[in-house]
């Protein structure tokens, strides 16, 4: 039995390509004392993966030669810890590999929700990030206008649907007419502007006649600069990510920062989902209520096979996914 | 009797110069019904004056041909309103002129504090801006490190002294060795870094061994970019102004925004002093306590004569003042 893995052969300068990755086959590792052997079922593919290659963030930087890190859902194949049993389904910091060993205390046992992919989308990082960043950072109120970038993406789609459930007017920003149509027709946003078309400022003005009270920013860069221009006084900006700035060596800052933050008395606040771990149960309960009532629709973008992981990440950075993207390495048990 | 005024002859593109202003003499205006005739005593000179020439902000844009707007302390010479009497000392939105008329209800009667210049420095906009932006926006706690840019300026000097009074470690940023020495030796900051020297990042690292918890930003631009790099996780940035971006047609945004806001989970919040008018009495009481105890020293930079106003503003933008800059148009009564 071999263990297939994908390593970073070289750190990217500029755009990430297939050439930065290499596949290798090794032995299935053995669990040591207090450890578990895990079989990878699903791996999360996130824009943040690319930012880890730019240097230390909220985690250590990824280096050339490392097996690519990821967040994964796995089955316990063997346990040398009293905390976990063979057959348990767990979430863990992991790597792009079929099998890994992890200390049992660093692994989180998951509730019995099927399909398991829901634990990575609406009930996982994507849904929780959307909930905490919108509800606990930006505090939207029914009747306010909420603007969301990367609206067809894994997090943005839930942000908009949660904001609708809270009674807000919701406007998305996405790339291309097809995605914008999907955001409105399928996800139920009130409007969606195409950032690839010229005139984003005018387009946003037209679909946000009362301005924008909350902006949920997944992208940074030029789109953030334009969003700042349509914010209302005392608006709140929840800073979730800066996709536009990850796949480059020459980041550009919005020229109206901090000028418009002063003039409009805006609040910009960054967060990562782990900051709100204590409120996860509240978030999950709310998400389940909205999924059951049909107010939140769940869309997943599952790419098959470990070897597809590099292409899945490269494609995500180019904006090709709709809904939460993940790679299936093995079947649900 | 004539009324000397200074108008903006042409809006600046790029750097502001004397050529953008012109002096003129007109008649002393007559107060209409409900109005007062005011004699200008002191005019506030602020970096924000320059930003008003860039377009609409929290007030209408200044246009070519306008008498230059200002905030002023004045004596009521004639009142056609029951609200105010001849001899009252008031603060008002005004213009660069010896005499103006204003609706009585738009004018604020001032308490009897002498010298009147204190009502423009520590007990005026400068002191209140420092207090509200530090205490009510950034919420510093004793033991935290507070970093302040434009530390020798009108607001920055009070920010640092208030933070010291609250028990914080206080580090300034100022331009030139002489100013930096004054900030430490006279204002009592723990350290001060010179942004005109190369290596600001290393200099800040050296004098902020525990990182920065609160950054009070008066300048934006490259200094903000460097300050973001030394912020601690969950740090707060009080956005008061962006002096570095006002006297130019080509503003530059910090390239690490919003990236570092996400990674470090920072909160950036803009404010203007009027937002906290309801807490002004609390601010003034605290400032008086600290002035009386000697914890806050009051420094004023008073330029004599209405005709000096353009040079006073141009010099302020070049960073030549220490303490609150104002122009004396006439004597205290």
Q: Does residue A186 sit in helix, strand or coil? A: coil
Contact between B149 and B133 under an 8 Å Cβ cutoff? The reply is no
Counting as low any pLDDT under 70, the low residues of chain A are none
What are the angstrom distances between the C-alpha of A7 and each of A19, A58, A64, B12, B248?
A: 11, 21, 8, 56, 47
* A245: nearest CA partner in chain B: B259
Contact assignment for B257 to A262 by CB distance below 8 Å: no
Burial grade of B103 (CB within 10 A; 0-12, 13-18, 19 or more): middle
CA-based nearest distance B248→chain A, Å = 12
Give residue-wise pLDDT tens across range A132-145: 999 999 999 999 99
Q: Which ranges constitute the DSSP H helices of B69-153?
A: 125-131
Phi and psi at residue A224, in whole multiples of 5°? -60, -45
Secondary structure (H, E, C), B213-227:
EEEEECCCHHHHHHH
Asked whether residue B57 carries a pLDDT value surpassing 80, the answer given is no
d(CA B299, CA B305): 19
What's the complex ipTM? 0.84
Q: Once rounded to an integer, what is the mean pLDDT over residues B21-29? A: 97
Q: Which of B52, B262, B276 would you mutate first to test chain A, the one with the most A CBs within 10 A?
A: B262
With CB atoms and an 8 Å threshold, state whether B259 touches A220: yes
Chain A: nearest CA to B322, how far in angstroms?
23
Q: Which residues in chain B have their CB less than 8 angstroms from residue A225's CB?
A: 253
Q: Any alpha helices (H) in chain A, and if so which ranges?
A: 47-51, 125-131, 154-165, 177-185, 200-207, 221-230, 259-263, 280-293, 309-317
Chain B partners within 8 Å of A236 (Cβ) = none
What is the structure's pLDDT at A333?
93
Chain B residues close to A219, C-beta within 8 Å? none
Longest alpha-carbon distance in chain A: 63
Confidence check: pLDDT of B58 > 90? no
Domains in chain B (CATH in brackets) are 2-120+299-328 (3.90.180.10), 125-276+284-291 (3.40.50.720)
Query: In this predicted structure, what is the pLDDT of residue A59?
Result: 80
Q: Tell me how many residue pairs between chain A and chain B have CB atoms under 8 A apart.
A: 112
What pLDDT is stored for residue B299 in this prediction? 94
**Residue contact B253–A251, C-beta within 8 A:** no
pLDDT of B59-99, one tens digit each?
Answer: 888 999 999 999 999 999 999 999 999 999 999 999 999 99
- A258 and B268: CB-CB below 8 Å? yes
Optimal mutation site among A245, A257, A267, interface B, most CBs of chain B within 10 A: A257
Nearest-by-CA chain A residue for B55: A263
Nearest chain A residue (CA) to B57: A263
- On chain B, the residues whose CB falls within 8 A of the CB of A237 are 258
Mean pLDDT of chain B: 95
pLDDT category of residue B54 using cuts at 50, 70 and 90: confident
Closest-CA distance of chain A to residue B35, Å: 30
Q: Which residues of B touch A241 (CB under 8 A)?
A: 262
Give the CA angle between residues B116, B120, B121 to the nearest 5°: 110
Q: Which residues of B touch A244 (CB under 8 A)?
A: none
Sorting pLDDT into bands at 50, 70 and 90, what band is B246?
Answer: confident
CB-count exposure of residue A275 (10 Å: 0-12, 13-18, 19+): middle
Q: What is residue A4's predicted lDDT score, i.e. its pLDDT?
A: 98
Give the mean pLDDT of B141-155.
Answer: 96
Residues of B in contact with A255 (CB under 8 A): 251-253
- For B205-220, what is each residue's pLDDT tens digit? 999 999 999 999 999 9
pLDDT digits (tens, 9 = 90+) for A60-100: 889 999 999 999 999 999 999 999 999 999 999 999 999 99
Taking the C-alpha atoms of residue B68 and residue B96, their distance in angstroms, rounded to an integer, is 5
**Which residues in chain A are closer than 8 Å to B237, comparing Cβ atoms?**
258
Our CA-based measurement puts residue A326 at a distance from the nearest CA of chain B, in whole angstroms, of 23
Q: What is the mean pLDDT of residues B131-137?
A: 98
Contacts of A275 in chain B (CB under 8 A): 265
With an 8 Å Cβ cutoff, the interface of chain B facing chain A consists of 51, 57-58, 217, 220, 224-225, 237, 239-242, 245, 251-272, 275
Which residue in the set B51, B259, B275 is minimally distant from A265, CB to CB?
Answer: B275
Listed residue (B318, B274, B323, B312) closest to B121, CA to CA:
B323
Q: Which of B50-59, B114-123, B194-203, B232-241 has the lowest mean pLDDT?
A: B50-59
Minimum Cα–Cα distance from A238: chain B residue = B262
Q: Kindly report the nearest CA distance between residue B25 and chain A, in angstroms.
A: 34
C-alpha span between A130 and A200 (Å, rounded): 24
Contact B239 A253 (CB under 8 A): no
pLDDT value at position A106?
96
Query: Is B253:A254 a contact under the CB 8 Å cutoff?
Result: yes
CB contact under 8 A, A269 and B272: no
CA distance from start to end of chain B: 19
Q: Interface of chain A against chain B, CB under 8 Å?
A: 51, 57-58, 217, 220, 224-225, 237, 239-242, 245, 251-272, 275
- How distant is the Cα of A245 from the closest Cα of chain B, in angstroms? 8
């Amino acid at each position: 039995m071999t263990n297939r893995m994908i390593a970073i052969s070289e750190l990217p300068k500029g755009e990430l390509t297939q050439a930065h990755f290499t596949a290798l086959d090794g032995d299935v590792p053995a669990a040591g004392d207090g450890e578990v052997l895990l079989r990878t079922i699903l791996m999360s593919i996130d824009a943040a993966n690319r930012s880890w290659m730019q240097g230390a963030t909220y985690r250590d930087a990824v280096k050339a030669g490392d097996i690519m890190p990821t967040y994964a859902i796995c089955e316990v194949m063997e346990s040398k810890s009293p905390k976990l049993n063979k057959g348990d389904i767990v979430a863990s910091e992991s790597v792009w590999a079929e099998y890994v060993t992890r200390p049992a205390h660093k692994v989180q046992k998951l509730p019995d929700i099927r399909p398991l992919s829901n634990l990575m989308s609406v009930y996982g990082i994507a849904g929780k990030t959307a909930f905490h960043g919108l509800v606990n950072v930006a505090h939207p109120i029914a009747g306010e206008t909420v603007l969301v970038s990367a609206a067809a993406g894994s997090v943005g789609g839930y942000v908009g649907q949660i904001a609708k459930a809270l009674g807000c007017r919701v406007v998305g920003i996405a790339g291309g007419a097809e995605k914008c149509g999907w955001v409105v027709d399928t996800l139920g946003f009130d409007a969606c502007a195409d950032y690839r078309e010229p005139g984003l400022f005018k387009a946003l003005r037209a679909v946000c006649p009362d301005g924008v009270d909350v902006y949920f920013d997944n992208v940074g860069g030029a789109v953030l600069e334009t969003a700042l221009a349509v914010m209302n006084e005392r608006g709140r900006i929840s800073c979730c990510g800066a996709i536009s700035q990850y796949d480059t060596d020459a980041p550009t800052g919005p020229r109206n920062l901090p000028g418009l933050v002063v003039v409009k008395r805006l609040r910009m606040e960054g967060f990562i989902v782990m900051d709100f771990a204590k409120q996860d149960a509240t978030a999950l309960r709310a998400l389940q209520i909205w999924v059951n009532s049909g107010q939140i629709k769940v869309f997943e973008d599952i790419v098959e096979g470990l070897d597809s992981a590099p292409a899945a990440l490269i494609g995500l950075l180019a904006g090709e996914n709709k809904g939460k993207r993940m790679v299936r390495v093995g079947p649900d048990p």
